[in-house]
Structures are given as C-alpha cells and as structure tokens.
Amino acid sequence: MGKMFLSLLVAMMLGACGTDKHDPVPMPPEFSEVTCSPAEPAAGEEVTVRVAVGCPDGLERVSLHYFTRYKEMLSGSIAGERLFTEAPATYDFEAHIPGQQAGTTVYFYVAARSVNGLERTTRTMQYALPGGGSDPGLGPEYTTRPEFGPLTFTPDEPGDREIVTVRVPVSCEYGLERIYIHYFHDGAQEGTIVGERRFADDRPTSYDYEGKIPGARAGSVIRFVVFARSGYGVGNATEMMEYGVRNE
C-alpha cells in the first residue's frame, strides 16, 4: 500500500494546491485497495480489514462498518473507528470483524471523513462462511448511486451578498432519500450544508433539485458540491463547482 498510495496522495496535494497556495480546493478522502485476511475465514474466525486512507486536508475519522444480512445495511455495526485530533494526511487503517456463525455472509465497507467535512466510502465488499443456510446476497439497490444531470447556478457572477440558486436534476431507480448543497467559503476547511431536501415515505426516483447558497461579500470565492443519497443509503456527489463574487 505504501509507495503507490504515497504517489497518489502527492498528486492529490498538487491538484488541490494549484497555483494559489492560500486558497486550496477542499478534497475528499481517497482509499488504496482494501484487503481482508483470511480471505476465506472459518466459522468463528475474526477477519482483519486493512486499507490506506489519505486526504491532503487531513483526516478526521475512519471507520469500518459491517452487517450480516443485506437488509441491515443502514443499521449495521461499527467494528472499528479511529478519530483523529492531529488530522493526518495519510493513515494505514486496520480493524477487525468478529467471528460469525457458519453459513453467514458478511458485508462491509470503510468510511472516511476529512477535516473539511467531506465524506467517502469504499465499495461494499463481502465474504461468506461455509456451511449453514444461505443469504439472498447484496442486491443492486445497495450499490447503485444517484445520478446527476447538468448542474446550473444563477447568477454565475453574483454581486455583493447576492443569493445564488443551484439547480440540478437527480435520479436513482431505487428512490432518493436526501439531497443538499455543501459549500465552502474562501477556501475554508469547514463547509456548510444548505438547501437540504429529505424524502421520508414517498421517495421519488427523479427530482429537479433547487437550493440556494447565501450571499457572500464582494471578492469572495465560493466552492460547492451537491450531494444525494438513495433510499438504500448509497451516496454520490457532483464535481466541485466554483464562482467568485464580483467587486462592484
């Protein structure tokens, strides 16, 4: 995991810094390849999960989540969690999934959060213990991400303290549970969530989202993403967008 992941992180840092060292672009965490050992555990045998995690802005939290029936994905257990006060740029994460009964299928993923509030997870992985009954398996509803259409925001060059309206169509065949804007002001490492839209019971498969970013002072630079989560807990985000508030 060492050299290749270090090279990846250096590239991330260069991309984040650009030419303006005082105004970096907030970056989400990145993962190396996840490994687990043993690959074919016996009943009752503990499984160790390892992955290198990196973020040029620094890491706030890394955790391992697992569940033993695919319908329990949103209420699974945390097998290992690491909270940081020193905000490292890289960390070799290791956690352990307790031994399970014969015939159990175990699903798991690693989640990481940066100090600027951006989150990312690995893909959901699985292993099966021999013997016993069977599990129906992880359906596509638990791996399908929401998708975004063309994103627009108006005005694209707002004036002093002028509100900006963001619009983007969002869709997911398995329903949408939550959509919001996460924006950063003048290179701040802590972002702000605005324009949150939650769907409780009647979760649409498509939605024309609209949210508003509060007005900022002249000369400010605002960066933002739109985040969406499906009804089965799978999240996705747009690319980071940017606009400047003109000096009048």
Give the chain's radius of gyration (CA, Å).
20
Give pLDDT, residue 71. Answer: 46
Fold classified for 2-138: Immunoglobulin-like (2.60.40)
Residue tagged 């290198």 (tokens): 52
Instruction: State the pLDDT at residue 16.
Output: 46
Contact 118, 112 (CB under 8 A): no
Q: What pLDDT is recorded for position 69?
A: 64
> DSSP per residue over 139-151, as a string?
-GGGTPPPEE---
Q: Enumerate residues 6+ apart whose C-beta is below 8 A from 247.
A: 218, 219
Assign 3-state DSSP to the chain and report helix, strand, coil percentages, each to 5.
Answer: 10, 45, 45
pLDDT value, residue 17? 41
Compute φ and ψ for 56, nearest 5 degrees: -60, -25
Nearest 5°: the CA angle 232, 58, 118 is 30
* Cβ atoms 45, 25 nearer than 8 A: no
pLDDT in tens, the chain (248 residues): 554 454 545 444 444 444 444 455 677 889 998 999 998 898 899 999 999 999 998 999 999 988 876 545 555 688 889 999 999 999 999 999 999 888 888 888 888 989 888 888 887 788 888 875 545 556 788 778 899 999 999 999 999 999 999 999 999 999 999 999 988 887 665 678 899 999 987 899 999 999 999 999 999 999 888 989 888 877 788 888 899 999 87
Check if the beta carbon of residue 57 is closer than 8 Å to that of residue 115. yes
Compute CA distances 46 → 38, 100, 106, 216, whole Å.
8, 8, 12, 52
Task: Write down the pLDDT at residue 9.
Answer: 52
229 burial (CB, 10 Å; 0-12 / 13-18 / 19+) is buried
* Residue 151 to residue 181: CA distance in whole angstroms: 12
b/e map 127-136, b = 16+ CB within 10 Å: bbbeeeeebe
- In the Cβ-directed half-sphere of 108, how many Cα atoms lie within 13 Å? 27
CATH architecture of the domain with residue range 147-244: Sandwich (2.60)
Q: Return the structure tokens found at 30.
A: 């990145």
All CATH 2.60.40.150 domain ranges in the chain, comma separated:
2-138
What residue has token string 């989560």?
A: 229
Structure tokens at 213: 């970013």
**pLDDT value of position 127:** 86
In the chain, which segments carry CATH 2.60.40.10?
A: 147-244
